[in-house]
Amino acid sequence: MKNLINCPFIPIAKRPGSHRGAAGVMYGDMIKEKYGNCDVNYGGEIEDHNAYDTLWVYHGTDWSGGINMFGGVYGFPYVQNTVNFSQFKGKVYSIGIDFPPYHEMVKSKLDSAKKEVQPEWHQVDLKNLERMFDTAERIDYPNPTNKIVIGDSHSICMYRPGWTVNSVPFKTLNGALNEGFDKFIPFDYEELECYFGNIDVRHHAIRLNQKVEDLADRYIEEAHKYSAKIYELLPIEDVSRRIPQSGWYKGQPFYGSWKERTDWRNQFNDYIEKEYGIIRWTQNLYNEKGQLDFKYMEKPQSIHLSREFYPHWNGMEPQGLEEFFA
């Protein structure tokens, strides 16, 4: 069985500095590990989807219930990827969500167009997209394992073969503790790791004058229930870093000075290490000022680590000299 993973509109980016792309590559690795093969359609380069038996559909980390296409139906640069995707006739698995009614969404955009659309849109097989909508099987985890990482959007960087990652965007440590970790553990496990807290430091700890010990003790107590290991939090980047507004809270990219947040972060990590134990892993991510170095972060602006600097696995294929010098 030949497997392909693709997005229906904006394809999976090959560049390691893409958070959206990183999740697609991670899913591709999970599928490859379970089924023996999986091609990732980087940049929409694979045209003939029907050369494959199974299409795994990754809808993007930014899926919000509607199609987000820059350029719209007049100048969308990846329209050919959508055409190729729509013409696949085989088995379809939808990762993480029920397959959306893309046939209706595309038709609505075409019907409401105020001027001539790109001619490629007339090649999109709306009837076959409807078939996908009717028959696609939802798969939340392509390769469920008994080793699990739970956390916010940063936790994707802790993936490696043999592990399942439940990465929940915008989930604070405080919020996860209020809900209970059982809400984030999808199935039985033998090993569990936790990576929450970076959002709390960025937006809430200083604003709420939160005591390190109070949040850390709750974290330790909840982790202990599940014999879970805890990862240390990221260093704090320089305040000049431009952050997409999707990562802002109350109109701000962060709250508190760099020193305030760094001191809080360091005290939090040290307290957990002393009272419970912690996985230290960030020692090589600092610049000469003791900040998280921009060169290790996703490009051009993001709060996440770039995939090539993930601590366990980065999905990078060995480079040949020609590609290296290019």
Out of 81, 112, 139, a domain closes at 139
Helix axes 212-225, 258-275, angle to 10 degrees: 40
pLDDT interval class at 221 (50, 70, 90): very high
Statement to judge: residues 187 and 272 lie in one domain: yes
Residue 326 is assigned to a structural domain of this protein: no
Buried b (16+ CB within 10 A) or exposed e, 72-90: ebeebebbebbbbbbbbee
The whole-number average pLDDT for the span 195-224 is: 98
pLDDT averaged over the chain? 93
Q: Is the pLDDT of residue 320 over 90?
A: no
Can you give the pLDDT at residue 304?
A: 92
pLDDT range class, residue 44, cuts 50, 70, 90 = very high
Phi, psi of 3 (to 5 degrees): -115, 140
167 located within any domain: yes
Do 205 and 301 fall into the same domain?
Answer: yes
pTM for the complete prediction? 0.90
What's the pLDDT at 243?
86
User: What's the pLDDT score for residue 270?
Assistant: 98
Is 80 exceeded by the pLDDT of residue 316? no
Same-domain pairing of 158 and 300: yes
pLDDT at 132: 98
Question: What CATH number is associated with residue 299?
Answer: 3.40.50.1110
What is the residue range of 42's domain? 3-139
Find tokens 């001539």 and name the residue. 116
Final residue of a domain: which of 82, 117, 139? 139
Residue 79 has pLDDT above 90, yes or no: yes
- Total domains present in the chain: 2
Q: What is the CA radius of gyration of the chain?
A: 21
Query: 158 and 257: one domain?
Result: yes
Count CB atoms within 10 A of the CB of residue 274: 10
pLDDT one-digit tens code per residue, 261-305 = 999 999 999 999 999 999 999 999 999 999 999 999 988 778 999
Residue predicted with more confidence, 265 or 1: 265
Q: Are 157 and 278 in a shared domain?
A: yes
- Same domain? 169 vs 94: no
Distance CA 166, CA 162 (A): 14
> Is the pLDDT confidence value at 215 over 70?
yes
Q: Is the domain of 176 the same as that of 299?
A: yes
